[in-house]
Chains A and B, each alone.
Chain A
């Protein structure tokens, strides 16, 4: 069986705090998940849920308190792994005394690309992120959205196998978001593995093969967007026409919304058959039976609410 591109096992991160650093704040607790090769994986969660912590652990900016992770079979502590990954930090900021072209050339040097190859790639990347005319301008004159594009360009400049993007849509206007979406789809078509964090659920729904929802430092659900929302109890919507006397249907009709002769109502999946029989028996004409599709947003909010009801988002304990 092919190995997953990203394997995370029981990964935890605690930060000491307080004057003597004796207290611990848990940012991530026992995260176990994997991202398959060639998959676009969306990492969802509210602010402070542990998304950026996980990503920073994967790219080696911070170190785990417990657990392990591997990217393309190599430990995250193995520097050679970095040759195969591309990373866009959250709200990226770069050397503002450099132009975009200089910055990309600087980063490309760490991948041992020859000068001619660097030149070609830098030009191609600037074009790809829509900055071909701004490549010679110092980054201190760039807007937030433009910096985000430069960040994306440096992440994919060396053609990495795994691309990790921390909030890639943040700070972008609708055109920019669309362009980033297109780039992620292009990466997917090229067989790359993409892990990106976001709290824009529509983007995740549109782009991801699978999503993982993290709340309060714990992973609360993983699966395909369709599948994950299916975890919630489903309802069925029934549209029917009925002109007869209320008779034995009083209880049902009281739950339905009437528009002229038409009624529509929601029933639990388990009650569907009995409801249809009852309606059919009373002479109602069934027009449509459809599944009420829960959105990812509803699922997400359901998890966040459940977490808030259970415990504070971040566990704080003295030691």
Chain B
């Protein structure tokens, strides 16, 4: 595991030096602008608007980083052949993969936490006492992180066997499909055969369920998030990531590096 940590820290260092965290400046500016404007246009619901805007921005920025850097984690190393010298060291390929995953998740965690801090600051500016909201917002941020980890795992899996462009398409496609799993599961139609309905139901269980991670509305309204949902989502993300990473490792371990 030590070697996984070494790769992860280097991946984090790469993200920092490649100025990935510069997006925080953009986020900070957006939050400052929003908190100034929102007080003037939305009387009484300022904190709701700020929370919705802030969480959406955290999610979108995180998703862009997770997908675009996620697919490049392995493919860039193969294209540039930086991987060659490394894999001749006593490091297993799955350790390298897990390290790359860990490094990007660490980057996303730092990025997301920094953005969350900005969001709380904006909340404090708009409404001087935002305590009731903070717990739910914190959980919503945590769920975004779980979602991003899952997206990184999927991007990593695809980049182990296909081109970066296709990896982006597959990851984005799965993410979008994963937002509609409840509809897929409950879809009933007179015209649809039972076989097709059954297939849809199976697919809905196989696809990553990204719907469960969306508690933005509850957070914006200050509703408490049930502890069971937190435990369920944590276990779900951990298990799904483990399966996807195991599949990625199985593919990558057999791959010839030309």
Contact = CB atoms under 8 A, between A and B. Distances in A.
A153 to B, nearest CB: 11
Contact of A82 (B6, B14, B89): B89
A152 to B, nearest CB: 11
A117 B75 CA distance: 33
Interface string B78-98: 001110111111111000000
A106 B85 CA distance: 11
Specify the main secondary structure of chain B where it touches its partner. Answer: helix
Interface residues on A, range: 20 to 34
A101 to B, nearest CB: 14
A82 B88 contact: yes
B90 A95 contact: no
Interface residues of B, number: 24
Interface in A79-95: 79-80, 82-83, 85-89, 91-95
B18 interface: yes
Nearest to A138: B17
B163 interface: no
B84 A107 contact: no
A154 B3 CA distance: 17
A120 interface: no
Contacts of A154: 85
Nearest to B84: A89
Contacts of B86: 107, 110
B85 A94 contact: yes
B90 A94 contact: no
A95 B88 CA distance: 15
Interface in B225-258: 254, 256-258
B13 interface: yes
B84 A61 contact: yes
B91 A89 contact: no
A160 to B, nearest CB: 10
A255 interface: no
A70 B16 CA distance: 40
Interface of A: 15, 56, 59-63, 79-80, 82-83, 85-89, 91-95, 97-98, 106-107, 109-112, 151, 154-155
10 contacts: A61-B257, A62-B256, A63-B254, A63-B256, A79-B92, A83-B90, A89-B81, A89-B84, A93-B80, A111-B89
Nearest 9 A-B pairs (CB), nearest first?
A87-B88, A110-B89, A97-B17, A89-B84, A62-B256, A82-B90, A59-B88, A61-B257, A83-B90
Given A97-B13, A111-B89, 11 more contacts: A62-B256, A62-B258, A63-B254, A82-B88, A82-B90, A93-B81, A95-B10, A97-B17, A107-B85, A110-B3, A155-B85
